[in-house]
């Protein structure tokens, strides 16, 4: 039997007693072209934030970006060159995660494997290119008009939000249920939570979770700039412009990239000799029903408490939180207050940091990327710090990791928070899997 396949006689546990484990992770982020390099950069506080020239975005000055560490097209076959950039990111991350999990294309139980994706602005690059051609048609000369009419026949499926989910499903022959969630900044955290539920409740035995985003286009940036939530460049060092929880914070920096995780029922992973990197144990999801852009303490605390209840953990069991931490004036203060309400004062609460300071806000990809970084923190015992945090806001009186990462920490459970415009909150909890719980990986 190939590793990654299950024989017909394999019996899985009752859905009510199922544990769900992470057996593979992949990433292409502003910090690195894989999980290891991305986590190393986060721990070192190496910022991927860069200043851009005014002519790149319709003459807007002072624009900052956190571009991906590598062009995804260079990591794929030439046949994938025409895909939307967000789909390319997703395919790179999924390929890495499935390789680590040891799952080959078209597994024998493909009907029981699904794909769940999260994305904010689906197909932004394709859409931007299409409208560029459209305006050439309106304003260009005759040659411009002729060029404008040459639009690829697959433009519509390339820009659809579910393009990444569909492509990964087709590329690996995964025929189980799958969905795409577009819930702004909570998109891929919700994708992970719903995949967890699908496996735990017996609808699937495994799933690939994707979080991807590529919206660093002129149209997107002009819109985000109008919202007045983007950070202004630091006069001395643009790379230090995003400072979550700092008294001088003034907004976030948009980034791009993808993260992917393979989730499996513990029994399936055990049957094929897979290694469990962590258990995905808790998921909380709530709606603020409060305001389109302003967060709510009540909604966030409810989501965190739900995740703890599902994981059957007490607040004191969580040792680290990768906070949503967008470096906005209101957002950081509300999240800090929510953490205090759930976990108590800093002296007894978990360590907290926001890695957005160095990789930017990845919107739809943020939940997956930040969950992976939190899992890596738990596995390594090294907790990334919040870069550029020099003058903590007294309203954020939680145990913030500042100045340098903390090493040598024994962490048994971590939380990742994702709080979106529209008031959609998602919290995920991963916990350590004892070495004896699952076998070491089978020989490749």
- What CATH number is given to the structural domain containing 329? 3.40.47.10
pLDDT per residue as tens digits for the range 339-357: 999 999 998 999 999 999 9
pLDDT per residue as tens digits for the range 287-324: 998 888 888 999 999 999 999 999 999 999 999 999 99
Domain assignment present for residue 214? The answer is: yes
Dump strand ranges (E) for 62-136.
Answer: 64-66, 113-118
Dump strand ranges (E) for 32-176.
Answer: 50-51, 64-66, 113-118
Domain residue limits at 311: 21-123+160-429
The verdict on whether 185 is a catalytic residue reads yes
Q: Is the pLDDT of residue 441 over 70?
A: no
In this structure, the strands spanning 424-431 and 278-287 are antiparallel
pLDDT per residue as tens digits for the range 116-132: 999 998 888 888 888 77
pLDDT (mean) for 4-8: 48
pLDDT per residue as tens digits for the range 73-104: 999 999 999 999 999 999 999 999 999 999 99
Domain assignment present for residue 138? The answer is: no
Closest CA to 19 of 441, 432, 442: 432
Whose structure tokens read 């593979």? Answer: 24
Q: Is the pLDDT of residue 12 over 70?
A: no
Whole-structure pTM value: 0.92
The rounded percent of the chain whose pLDDT value lies above 90 is 77
Domain assignment present for residue 48? The answer is: yes
Structure tokens at 442: 């089978």
Domain assignment present for residue 1? The answer is: no
Which among 359, 361, 396, 427 is annotated as catalytic?
Answer: 361
Domain assignment present for residue 440? The answer is: no
pLDDT (mean) for 354-362: 98
Domain assignment present for residue 149? The answer is: no
Q: What is the pLDDT of residue 26?
A: 98
Q: What is the pLDDT of residue 3?
A: 43
Domain assignment present for residue 8? The answer is: no
Domain count for the chain, please give it. Answer: 1
The verdict on whether 361 is a catalytic residue reads yes
171-174 own/partner pairs: CB under 8 Å, 24+ apart: 171/91, 171/94, 171/105, 172/94, 172/98, 172/103, 172/105, 172/106, 172/208, 173/105, 173/106, 173/107, 173/110, 174/107, 174/110, 174/113, 174/114, 174/115, 174/208
Domain assignment present for residue 324? The answer is: yes
How many C-beta atoms surround the C-beta of residue 5 within 10 A?
Answer: 16
pLDDT per residue as tens digits for the range 14-71: 445 699 999 999 999 999 999 999 999 999 999 999 999 877 877 788 899 999 999 9
Q: Is the pLDDT of residue 444 over 80?
A: no
Which among 185, 242, 396, 427 is annotated as catalytic?
Answer: 185
Which among 242, 324, 359, 396 is annotated as catalytic?
Answer: 324
pLDDT per residue as tens digits for the range 142-170: 555 555 556 777 888 788 899 999 999 99
């Amino acid at each position: 039997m190939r590793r990654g396949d299950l024989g017909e006689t394999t019996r899985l546990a009752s859905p009510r007693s199922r544990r769900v484990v992470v057996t593979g992770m992949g990433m292409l982020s502003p910090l690195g072209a894989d999980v290891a390099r991305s986590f190393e950069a986060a721990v070192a506080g190496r910022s991927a934030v860069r200043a851009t020239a005014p002519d790149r975005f319709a003459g807007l000055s002072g624009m900052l970006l956190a571009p991906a560490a590598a062009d995804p097209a260079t990591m794929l076959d030439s046949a994938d060159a025409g895909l939307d950039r967000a789909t390319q990111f997703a395919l790179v991350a999924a390929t890495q995660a499935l390789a680590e999990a040891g799952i080959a294309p078209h597994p024998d139980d493909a009907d029981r494997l699904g794909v769940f994706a999260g994305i904010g602005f689906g197909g932004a690059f394709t859409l931007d290119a299409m409208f560029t051609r459209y305006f050439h048609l309106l304003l260009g000369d005759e040659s411009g008009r002729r060029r404008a009419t040459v639009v690829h026949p697959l433009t519509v499926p390339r820009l659809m939000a579910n393009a990444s989910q569909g492509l990964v499903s087709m590329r690996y022959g995964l025929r189980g249920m799958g969905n795409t969630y577009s819930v702004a900044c909570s998109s891929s955290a919700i994708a992970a939570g719903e995949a967890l539920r699908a496996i735990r409740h017996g609808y699937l035995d495994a799933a690939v979770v994707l979080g991807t985003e590529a919206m660093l286009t002129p149209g997107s940036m002009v819109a985000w700039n109008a919202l007045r939530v983007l950070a202004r460049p630091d006069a001395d060092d643009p790379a230090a412009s995003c400072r979550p929880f700092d008294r001088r914070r003034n907004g976030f920096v948009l980034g791009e990239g993808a993260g992917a995780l393979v989730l499996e029922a513990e029994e399936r992973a055990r049957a094929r000799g897979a290694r469990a990197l962590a258990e995905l144990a808790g998921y909380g999801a709530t709606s603020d029903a409060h305001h389109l852009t302003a967060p709510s303490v009540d909604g966030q605390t409810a989501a965190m408490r739900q995740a703890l209840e599902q994981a059957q953990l007490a607040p004191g069991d969580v040792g680290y939180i990768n906070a949503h931490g967008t470096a906005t004036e209101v957002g950081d203060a509300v999240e800090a207050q929510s953490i205090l309400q759930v976990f108590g004062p800093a002296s007894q609460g978990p360590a907290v940091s926001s890695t957005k300071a160095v990789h930017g806000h990845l919107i739809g990809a943020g939940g997956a990327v930040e969950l992976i970084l939190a899992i890596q923190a738990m596995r390594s015992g090294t907790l990334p710090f919040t870069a550029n945090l020099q003058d903590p806001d007294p309203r954020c009186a939680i145990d913030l990791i500042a100045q340098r990462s903390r090493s040598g920490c024994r962490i048994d459970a971590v939380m990742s928070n994702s709080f979106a415009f529209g008031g959609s909150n998602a919290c995920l909890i991963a916990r350590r899997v004892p070495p004896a719980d699952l076998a070491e990986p089978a020989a490749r």
